[in-house]
């Protein structure tokens, strides 16, 4: 089955159906923490980490719930796992890098309710991926999320230096370039099947 090879899953999750720019999931950190390249990269790394952990946990939980014949617990279990993982990441970052902890601010606990992460867990279950495929899917989604964040952070850093009309400065401009970025990612749709 060539179309579901690991490489395809990775490209699919990161580019063709990029979580942020094609599925519009996880928009809030995409707009909120994309002011600086440095924080954007680290936020991307944090989200990717949470994605991988919660993807592994989701796989295990799904298997367990199927065995127990209780798939109705899927959603609530995923939420509990994601919330705890984010808590753990928060503690680790606070310990390792207080500066990053301050820079990420409120957006770090907001990963808890980030739809990109819950969406990932639900998508991989729906698509029926096995453990390895889930892992690659999470990695691809994380890479795509980081890519989107880095791209918009780069644009915003450049635009800080540009002479922009007053009316469009700030949030309005960010939303406009987010739209244009999404438009360019539509080009990858041609790669899909």
Partner 1 sequence: MSILIAILTLGGLTFLLALMLVIANRKLYVYEDPRIDEVEDMLPHANCGACGYPGCRPFAEALVSGDVLPGKCTVSSEEGREAIAHYLGVSVGAEEKIVARLACAGGTNVAKNRAQYEGLGTCRAASLISGGGKGCFWGCLGHGDCEVVCDFDAITMNQHSLPVVDEALCTACGDCVEVCPKDLFSLQPVNHRLWVACKNLEAGDGVLEDCEVACTACAKCAMDAPGNLITMMHNLPVVDYSENHQTQVPIQRCPTGAIVWLDESGEVVKGKESKKIVRKGERRIGYT
One residue of 166, 171, 190, 193 binding partner 1 per CB under 8 A = 166
Footprint on residues 68-127 left by partner 1 (CB under 8 A): 68-70, 72-73, 76-77, 80-81, 84, 87-88, 91-92, 94-95, 98
Q: Does 66 engage in binding with partner 1 (CB under 8 A)?
A: no
Q: Give whichever of 2 and 171 is closer to partner 1, judged by the CB atom.
A: 171
**C-beta of 179: minimal distance to partner 1 in Å?**
23
Which residues are CB-contacts of 77 (< 8 A; sequence separation ≥ 6)?
A: 61, 65
**C-beta of 83: minimal distance to partner 1 in Å?**
8
Q: Give whichever of 91 and 176 is closer to partner 1, judged by the CB atom.
A: 91
């Amino acid at each position: 089955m060539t179309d579901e090879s690991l490489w395809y899953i990775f490209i699919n999750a990161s580019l063709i159906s990029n979580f942020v720019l094609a599925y519009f999931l996880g928009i809030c950190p995409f707009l909120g923490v994309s002011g600086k390249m440095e924080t954007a990269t680290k936020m991307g790394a944090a989200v990717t980490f949470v994605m991988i952990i919660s993807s592994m946990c989701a796989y295990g939980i799904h298997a367990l719930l199927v065995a127990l014949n209780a798939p109705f617990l899927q959603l609530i279990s995923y939420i509990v796992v994601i919330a705890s993982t984010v808590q753990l990441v928060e503690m680790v970052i606070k310990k390792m890098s207080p500066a990053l902890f301050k820079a990420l601010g409120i957006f770090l606990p907001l990963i808890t309710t980030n739809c990109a992460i819950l969406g990932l867990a639900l998508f991989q279950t729906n698509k029926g991926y096995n453990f390895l495929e889930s892992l690659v899917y999470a990695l691809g989604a994380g890479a795509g999320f980081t890519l989107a964040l880095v791209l918009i952070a780069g644009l915003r850093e450049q635009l800080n230096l540009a002479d922009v009309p007053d009316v469009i400065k700030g949030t309005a401009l960010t939303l406009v370039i987010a739209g244009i970025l999404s438009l360019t990612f539509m080009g990858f749709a041609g790669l899909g099947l």
